[in-house]
Structure 1
């Protein structure tokens, strides 16, 4: 398992033109949530959670990030996607 700093740096390297303040696990989770929710996009242009998840996984796999970090980032995205889907279900109940 790699350090949080290494994983945060790996995540930041995915975004060339985006300023991210990812310094710890909490901010990494927040950045992943914002990405999956397409929070930086105008509401009319947003993609679905599943579309954003697929795009994120593709971005990670196509990167030059070390394979272990790729797997950890994909795992974090998967966990966050499941969490967001569960929360979405609760909000519609």
Structure 2
């Protein structure tokens, strides 16, 4: 089983020039949410959730991160995407 610290370090390694304070599962979930929502991008230049998800999965798969960490990170992204889509549906109801 992978420790949270290892997974956080794997996530941080995906970003070369970005300052990320990811050191526990809560901050890792928040960083993934911000990435999927394109929070660091100007609102007019933001991509959709699905586009950001595909870009994130590609970034993970093309990285030198260990295979088991890649799978865990993709799983976290998938869960967060589903959660965001579900919340988006509730907001439009």
- 2:2 maps to 2
| 2:64 aligned counterpart, secondary structure | coil
Runs of 4+ in 1 over 3 A off after TM superposition: none
The answer to whether 1:56 aligns with 2:53 is: no
RMSD: 0.2
Which whole-Å CA distance do the structure 2 matches of 1:23 and 1:5 have between them? 6
- 2:45 maps to 45
5+ long unaligned stretches in structure 1 = none
| 2:61 aligned counterpart, secondary structure | helix
- 2:72 maps to 72
Which whole-Å CA distance do the structure 1 matches of 2:19 and 2:29 have between them? 16
Deviation at 1:14, TM superposition (A): 0.2
| 2:9 aligned counterpart, secondary structure | helix
Which whole-Å CA distance do the structure 1 matches of 2:65 and 2:14 have between them? 8
Which whole-Å CA distance do the structure 1 matches of 2:11 and 2:23 have between them? 10
5+ long unaligned stretches in structure 2 = none
Deviation at 1:67, TM superposition (A): 0.1
- 2:28 maps to 28
Which whole-Å CA distance do the structure 1 matches of 2:11 and 2:87 have between them? 24
**Count of equivalent residues:** 93
